[in-house]
Structure 1
Amino acid sequence: MKRIFNTLFLLSLIALSSCSEFLGDNVDPNRATSATPELVLPNALTRTASLTRSFNTSAGWIVGYTANAGGYGGWGSTVTYNFTTGSYAGTWESTYDDLNNYQYIEESTADFPELGYYNAVAKVMKVYDFQMLVDVFGDLPYTEGLQGSANVTPGYDDQVSIYQDFVAQLDAAIDVFANSTVAQPMGNGDVMFGGDVDEWAKFANTLKLRVLIRLASSDEGNSFATSALASIDTGIGFLEEDAMVNPGYIASSGKQNPYWETYHTNASGSLSGSGRSAIPSTYVYSFYNGNKILDQGRGAAVYREFPTGTPRGQLGNLTDNPAALSNQTSWYVGEGTGVNASNTIGLLKSRTAGVPMMLAAESYLLQAEAYMKGYISGDDAAAFEEGVIASYRYLYKEASGEVRAGMDPVADFETYKADNPDNYLVVYDLAATDEERLEAIITQKYIALNFIHGQEAWAEFRRTAYPAIVNGSSVASETFASILSTSTRADKLPVRFLYPDTEFQLNPNNVPTGMDQFVNTIFWQGQ
């Protein structure tokens, strides 16, 4: 059974190592008995990319990026939010499995300064994975976790203390990236930044900014966070380019871009089930079609046949809808079908495109909030505009990573403002209060993260209550809460996942009990 201790693979390496001392040199040269950090890192990053897709899919249903197409069954807990301890057990187990990879890298490089970059990357990516877990489960096995057979019933750490330790881990990693004089280049082992440690430092600093902003939103973490924000090293910088993982995706089963595999077609060209059963919600579409905001550039890049073809019969009604079930996925805007689908712009760019781990758009919008609130010194209006332009730029890129010829993110942003001249959600200078400025920042983050990082959009909604919804409304453009919700909250939404049944079976004395998906909020969430 997969749990939070080291994988059987790593345990077998230890066993094999011990046996070799007893048996001498009687070793099969064709059978690997060890794994190096150089070999483990690309696999770990690739698994994290798949995890990010998984978290996005789970949260995307909740935060209104996707809805259930009419005619599809089997989505009971998704549309009612009546979660059980089995609902997200796989998410828990898969994330801890991935964390074990990074733990192995960190432990095996700890005494080798020449492998310092691998050690620092492992620290950063453990924060990345653990934050996704905290943001949906709360308290976790953290300081006693990842110890393998040395502790199979680890205690749970308080989520605020976990977040605070994230800062220490990221600081340690940034110091290595910025100052190590002996660490050897990572080269091809780094399938995210190609060994560019300056980019890793910026990524870690941006992740730190995300952590501290959430800490600052809570009573328990505010003092710690504001102090840490005041001393954040802006000289390191923050992400200015999208952080992408690409291990060399190919048109082969299980080796394609995981978003493409889930929502477009498999390697043989058969349309994926999720690409038909998951369709755009009316709520999110209203930020493109003029109901809330008119966004001609990004609308055409995100939704097939925008603006005439997608809205009708594609937006989450729960009646039988044959067109939504038989046509290709709404998020593919290119030409061709099946194996003949072309490389294109938008969200589903190609089978071989990289997976975004953090968008430059999110980086700039995090900075905008930090500047607006006075956490650090900077121009919030400029960062806001750079964030929206970066969102256009990501969508206008083809699988190669280059913006398609003839497309201009800056010019289309100017059109965006001209199409919405009186809307402070678009024209930042029109926001008259800090609350309106925050709403504009988070709303644009919601748009930028659409179908990419639903887990981040859901976290930001719970933290800020933006983008705004109308509680209790049955109008699809006014709320993304399911009409079949069983939630007891005014907004009719869940606030967390439930701990998996495996923890109640194997770690019953430590797992928190009595959790309710509508009551027990994550520490940074407002009521």
Structure 2
Amino acid sequence: MKKLKFLVPILALSLLSCEQYLDVNDSPNQLTFDKATPSKLLPGAQVSTYRVQVGSMNQLGNVFMNSWTRNVQSFGNGFDKELQLNLDNGFYSAIWDGLYRELKNYQAIIDYPNPDGKFDKYVAAAKVCKSFYTQYIVDLYGNAPYSQAWKGSANVTPSYDDDYAIYQSLITQLEEARDLIANAPADAEDIAPYDVMLQGDMDKWVEFANTVQLRLCLRMSQVTGAKATYRDTKLADIAGGPFLSDNVSINPGFSGGTAEQLTPMAGIYFYNTDQSNVQNRTFIAMSGHAWKSLQSYASTNYPTAGSQEIIAGSGVFYPNVTDPRSTRIFTGGIQGGAVGPRRAVNQGSSSVDVAGPTTPIPGPPSRLGALGHLNPYDQAGIFAGTAPGFPQDFFGVDGFIMTYSEACFLQAEAAVRYPALFSGGQTLFEAGIQDSFDFRNAVIGGYLGTINTRPNFGWTGTDNQKLHAIMYQKWIALMGINGIESYIDYTRTGYPLTPLSSNAGQTRKPYRLVYPVSEYVANSANVPAMSPTDPFVINALTPFWVPGAN
């Protein structure tokens, strides 16, 4: 792919060397925001929103979906609010604050003077990305500033828009983006030199727009009345695709030159530039639920016979399959200066308590596996034997905005729910699994044949069991990569079945998050008041697509 030697941060939109791209000190050479052209805005917008996605959003999703917990062997606390479900207006406020701050770049591209269509391709890309990330604001918070947002000093206290109205606007933006691409003038500026996601391939931008619209419509799968009629119309518009034929990845020239230049997955969860581990590398541990989902009964120290039920009374038991992706996603903890045996921690437990039947416990729990997160499709050349060295070979690999596997699972869900419009559900389901194995550098072997004999985990059984299987396989595919997506799927469908932490202070996971303190301070006249119980009940504050909320 084409590599850029600079990124553009929102506050300092300057043409900088690779070593300086996050230097926000004042300089006479810096380009002020109001004078930044679309070519200067686009790469910075793409990278800065991805950093929010892979950081706080990914972390919250993985903890809420019981994939991650803390290493209780080495840390006395951490993830306490997440496990206890103790939400307040400081809880993951970086999601709201980060997305709103960084989405301003996309809005600036959309608003940039463009009378002759010169910047149509930039505007199209910005509309798709704005829709992609604004959807998460609605999905996590419900009503939000939208029509009056991102106006700078012209409106510092924007009013809140209805969440369903925002969804409609996001779909309209996607339609406008496709129209701009189809009708861009012949001399429209090529975005390839500045597009660090799809390298200016406008056919892929159309695929991305269609796939985002599909995701928006599937979020509305359980709405009724006029909303359902609207959803069905917008589904019919895109039923013929095309949908993503590859990943939407991002790479502006990630490298190990400075901490800011590391691919964010490496810098946030794995390594410093001096090859030492960041704290998250030892802090984040494999949860017992993830272990039981990915390991057979024989390879797990279940406390009693029959205790393999995922949630007591559900009638759904762990699949009893050792998934080859398991050892890629989570590797053994460090013991005696070397990688030790794999172990896990049940969320809420004060000790390491899940392992193989003969593995001594407690002991260091499994940590995130670099080969399953930082070597997508062997991009670093580890298995091909072309890697320059470990771990610096991981420092420049791609990040992932939307994976091909997610696109496959979305289409598989559409085929189950709307067979008159979409087909090929099993083929797409299995393609998503295969891509997940390829991404993790795991050998699939006979996994598909085995898992497809397991209702709720493979393509067999009732439609509801197939929907659970889709959400289960998407959860594994996105584990550690885009965990927030699986949490929103869970909120929407209840799938895949996911236990609460044993020390949870609520009887269910929240339907939404709490508006951040920044809104109550700077936009107090407009932000809705919330009580501590509001996130856990269906009321006027619940995102409209939650079953029973519309």
State the TM bucket, normalised to the shorter chain: 0.7 to 0.9
Q: CA deviation at 1:494?
A: 2.0
Match 2:59 to one of 29, 32, 57 = 57
Q: Distance in 2 between matches of 1:288 and 1:118?
A: 42
Q: Distance in 2 between matches of 1:317 and 1:310?
A: 22
Q: Distance in 1 between matches of 2:79 and 2:430?
A: 38
Match 1:331 to one of 369, 388, 395 = 369
Q: Distance in 1 between matches of 2:504 and 2:488?
A: 19
Match 1:250 to one of 255, 271, 290 = 255
Q: Distance in 2 between matches of 1:191 and 1:45?
A: 7
Match 1:83 to one of 74, 80, 87 = 87
Are the structure 2 counterparts of residues 372 and 268 from structure 1 closer, same or farther at C-alpha, using a change threshold of 3 Å?
Answer: same
Are the structure 2 counterparts of residues 112 and 315 from structure 1 closer, same or farther at C-alpha, using a change threshold of 3 Å?
Answer: farther
Q: Distance in 2 between matches of 1:272 and 1:202?
A: 36
CA contact (8 A) 2:144 2:161 kept: yes
Are the structure 2 counterparts of residues 267 and 329 from structure 1 closer, same or farther at C-alpha, using a change threshold of 3 Å?
Answer: farther
The one-letter code sitting in structure 2 at the alignment partner of 1:441 is I
Write out aligned runs for 1:368-407 (5 A). 368-374=412-418, 376-396=421-441
Secondary structure in structure 1 of the residue aligned to 2:415: helix
CA contact (8 A) 1:60 1:455 kept: yes
The one-letter code sitting in structure 2 at the alignment partner of 1:393 is D
Write out per-residue CA displacement over residues 110-141 of structure 1, whole angstroms, 9 at most, x where no aligned residue: 43412111001111111111111111111100
CA contact (8 A) 2:288 2:344 kept: no
Q: CA deviation at 1:46?
A: 0.8
Q: Distance in 2 between matches of 1:240 and 1:425?
A: 26
| Correspondence for 1:510 | 526
Q: Distance in 2 between matches of 1:328 and 1:461?
A: 25
Match 2:68 to one of 66, 69, 73 = 66
Q: CA deviation at 1:167?
A: 0.8
Write out aligned runs for 1:25-424 (5 A). 30-33=29-32, 34-54=35-55, 55-70=57-72, 71-182=75-186, 183-219=188-224, 221-232=227-238, 234=240, 236-251=241-256, 252-291=258-297, 292-293=318-319, 294-305=321-332, 311-312=342-343, 316=347, 318-319=349-350, 329-333=367-371, 344=382, 350-374=394-418, 376-396=421-441, 412=444, 415-420=446-451, 422-424=453-455
Are the structure 2 counterparts of residues 519 and 185 from structure 1 closer, same or farther at C-alpha, using a change threshold of 3 Å?
Answer: same
| Correspondence for 2:501 | 482
Write out per-residue CA displacement over residues 52-96 of structure 1, whole angstroms, 9 at most, x where no aligned residue: 112111221111121122133243312211111112222211111
Q: Distance in 1 between matches of 2:11 and 2:449?
A: 58
The one-letter code sitting in structure 1 at the alignment partner of 2:530 is G
Q: CA deviation at 1:435?
A: 1.2
The one-letter code sitting in structure 2 at the alignment partner of 1:63 is M
Q: CA deviation at 1:393?
A: 2.0
| Correspondence for 1:523 | 544
| Correspondence for 1:13 | none
Q: Which protein is richer in helix relative to its size?
A: 1
Secondary structure in structure 2 of the residue aligned to 1:60: helix
| Correspondence for 1:473 | none
Secondary structure in structure 2 of the residue aligned to 1:125: helix
| Correspondence for 1:16 | none
Write out per-residue CA displacement over residues 287-317 of structure 1, whole angstroms, 9 at most, x where no aligned residue: 22124232443223322259x9654255656
Q: Distance in 2 between matches of 1:255 and 1:114?
A: 31
In the superposition, the TM-score normalised over structure 2's length comes to: 0.78
Q: Distance in 2 between matches of 1:344 and 1:177?
A: 38
Q: CA deviation at 1:417?
A: 2.7
Q: Distance in 1 between matches of 2:430 and 2:536?
A: 35
Match 2:486 to one of 433, 445, 457 = 457
Write out per-residue CA displacement over residues 230-287 of structure 1, whole angstroms, 9 at most, x where no aligned residue: 22252x5001211101111111212111111111111122211122111111112222
Are the structure 2 counterparts of residues 86 and 421 from structure 1 closer, same or farther at C-alpha, using a change threshold of 3 Å?
Answer: closer
Are the structure 2 counterparts of residues 305 and 485 from structure 1 closer, same or farther at C-alpha, using a change threshold of 3 Å?
Answer: closer
Secondary structure in structure 1 of the residue aligned to 2:220: helix
Are the structure 2 counterparts of residues 206 and 271 from structure 1 closer, same or farther at C-alpha, using a change threshold of 3 Å?
Answer: same
CA contact (8 A) 1:302 1:332 kept: yes
Q: CA deviation at 1:191?
A: 0.4
Q: CA deviation at 1:41?
A: 0.8
Secondary structure in structure 1 of the residue aligned to 2:249: strand
Write out per-residue CA displacement over residues 131-176 of structure 1, whole angstroms, 9 at most, x where no aligned residue: 1111111110001111111111111111111111111000110122
Write out per-residue CA displacement over residues 330-384 of structure 1, whole angstroms, 9 at most, x where no aligned residue: 32248x9xxxxx7647xx9812111110011111111111122226232111111
CA contact (8 A) 1:243 1:359 kept: yes
Q: Does 1:495 align with 2:511?
A: yes
Write out per-residue CA displacement over residues 188-247 of structure 1, whole angstroms, 9 at most, x where no aligned residue: 20001111111111011100000011123223632210121122252x500121110111
CA contact (8 A) 1:178 1:198 kept: no
- Point out the more displaced range, 359-368 or 225-234: 225-234
Are the structure 2 counterparts of residues 314 and 168 from structure 1 closer, same or farther at C-alpha, using a change threshold of 3 Å?
Answer: same
Give unmatched runs, 5+ long, in structure 1. 1-5, 11-27, 337-341, 397-406, 470-478
Q: Distance in 1 between matches of 2:341 and 2:163?
A: 41
Q: Distance in 2 between matches of 1:163 and 1:466?
A: 23
CA contact (8 A) 1:160 1:215 kept: no
CA contact (8 A) 1:124 1:173 kept: yes
CA contact (8 A) 2:43 2:196 kept: yes
Q: Distance in 1 between matches of 2:111 and 2:446?
A: 52
Q: Distance in 2 between matches of 1:255 and 1:325?
A: 34
The one-letter code sitting in structure 2 at the alignment partner of 1:257 is T
Q: CA deviation at 1:181?
A: 3.5
Q: Distance in 2 between matches of 1:286 and 1:518?
A: 27
Are the structure 2 counterparts of residues 435 and 48 from structure 1 closer, same or farther at C-alpha, using a change threshold of 3 Å?
Answer: same
Secondary structure in structure 2 of the residue aligned to 1:200: helix
Are the structure 2 counterparts of residues 519 and 327 from structure 1 closer, same or farther at C-alpha, using a change threshold of 3 Å?
Answer: closer
CA contact (8 A) 2:285 2:344 kept: no
Q: Distance in 2 between matches of 1:217 and 1:280?
A: 33
In the superposition, the TM-score normalised over structure 1's length comes to: 0.82
Q: Distance in 2 between matches of 1:138 and 1:310?
A: 43
Q: CA deviation at 1:32?
A: 3.4
Q: Percent identity?
A: 28
| Correspondence for 1:447 | 476
Secondary structure in structure 2 of the residue aligned to 1:440: helix
How many residue pairs align between the two structures?
A: 467
- Point out the more displaced range, 39-48 or 414-423: 414-423
Secondary structure in structure 2 of the residue aligned to 1:244: strand
Are the structure 2 counterparts of residues 7 and 360 from structure 1 closer, same or farther at C-alpha, using a change threshold of 3 Å?
Answer: closer
Are the structure 2 counterparts of residues 312 and 326 from structure 1 closer, same or farther at C-alpha, using a change threshold of 3 Å?
Answer: closer
The one-letter code sitting in structure 2 at the alignment partner of 1:242 is N
CA contact (8 A) 2:291 2:344 kept: no
The one-letter code sitting in structure 1 at the alignment partner of 2:483 is G
Q: Distance in 2 between matches of 1:44 and 1:424?
A: 42
Write out per-residue CA displacement over residues 27-59 of structure 1, whole angstroms, 9 at most, x where no aligned residue: x97453532211111111111211111211122
